[in-house]
Amino acid sequence: MNLVVEADGGSRGNPGPAGYGAVVKDTDGQVLAEAADALGVATNNVAEYQGLIAGLRSALALGGEGAAVEVRMDSKLVIEQMAGRWKIKHEGLRPLAREAAALAGRLRVSWTWIPRERNRDADRLANEAMDAAAQGDRWRPGSRTAPPSSPQPTTPPGLSPTAPPNLAATAPPGAGPTAPSSSGTTTPPGAGAVPSNLQTDLQAALHPAVSSGARATASSDGTGSGWMGPARTATTFLLLRHGETPFSVERRFSGTGDPELTPKGVAQAEAAAARLSRPPYEIDVIVSSPLRRAQGTAEIVAARAGLKVAVDQGLREVDFGAWEGHTFTEIQRRWPAELEAWLADPSVAPPGGESFDQAAARVQAAKERLLLDHKGKKVLVVSHVTPIKLLLRFALLAPSAALYRMHLDVASLSTVDYFPDGPELVRSLNDTAHLR
């Protein structure tokens, strides 16, 4: 099946109230599907990538695996980056680019830049979504919203409307002048906004799942919380780190080596199982890393929940190579230069091991598989420090350095909601209430 995806995104302020639009057509120009949504506060580049992701999702749903798709966008930055001709220099765009690449990898995609005037359908949808959000509403297929008569607030009452700092990146070599966005402003290629040190409600307010304060993610009972109303059904990942092992007791690097749980680790898994067997969790699916410490933890939860455990190889811990089984001090003494390079650059691997960038690619692919197979479900993912931190980093649109700024205890629980149009929201991180 041959399809055409036209996608766009814009931000009124850059960063500011943002939205995206995407349309899927057949080769005769017949519209087969439309998608659009507001993104809260975001940059043009983020909005354009979200439009691309929405278009690829729709094309995959229509054409299935292996369908031929021509992607047309007026964003030179996105087209050149996805085609592999420009580097992605801004950390905030890399998770979005990986998500788009994972979807594109299941299709046969060609990338075409088009002038803005030839991308009117997608541009119109993006602006309709932003207009709807400004009026306290959400975009719906077939809707047409008039621009608001006066500017509307995009943050909840009592919160500063000041946007998070903009982290700009330089243009790729040969990029030339920056390309105009669909809102008519000019953005340095790769520019984006990454929120930091925000409380839960503010994260929700600025997160793509929220449309200008009119909606937000649902609480565990689906009713919403605080000023936020109920939202569309999300797919929820409950991210459970395995219980204690001899390596974790001794603070040794534990990657693809396969230690089993200690008796205390088994007790921790049982405590997690007791918690997860009660409302509001109601787990539908359990998926585990192939390593014994994770599978052992998952099986304990599964026995209480009455479920089977599926295994996904993409959820295994990073391979620490020659450092496996060593303490940080031992590595610092024996491999000082290699350790310094590894800590400074996520593309550097330990001797004979795997880099964080390599691990990120397989974890991203695993995430896409799970979201496709378990839409709208509560999925318990039993894994390790690195894969769980990567999933949290992706959801937060955080740079690679964020991996060093998170702590995860053994048997801790973290939660991420994934919404049908792409946004992700972290609900909890390193929750150990069941271990007290």
Q: Could you give the residue numbers annotated as active site?
A: 242, 317
Task: Tally helices (H) and strands (E) across the chain.
Answer: 12, 13
| Angle (CA) 21 132 416, round 5° | 65
| Angle (CA) 151 152 154, round 5° | 125
Question: In a 3-state reduction of DSSP, which class is residue 277?
Answer: coil
CA atoms within 13 A on the CB side of 258: 6
Q: Could you tell me which residues are beta bridge partners of residue 153?
A: none
Q: What is the spatial distance between Cα 197 and Cα 202, in angstroms, rounded to a whole number?
A: 10
- 61, two tokens: 């749903």
Smallest Cα–Cα separation from 65: which of 1, 159, 110?
Answer: 1
Q: What is the spatial distance between Cα 228 and Cα 85, in angstroms, rounded to a whole number?
A: 42
Q: What is the spatial distance between Cα 213 and Cα 227, in angstroms, rounded to a whole number?
A: 8
Residues listed for the chain: 436
Q: Rounded to a whole number, what is the distance in angstroms from the first to the last CA of the chain?
A: 55
- 11, two tokens: 């931000």
Q: Could you tell me which residues are beta bridge partners of residue 428?
A: 415
- 188, two tokens: 């340095």
* Beta strands at 31-42 and 16-26: parallel, antiparallel or unpaired: antiparallel
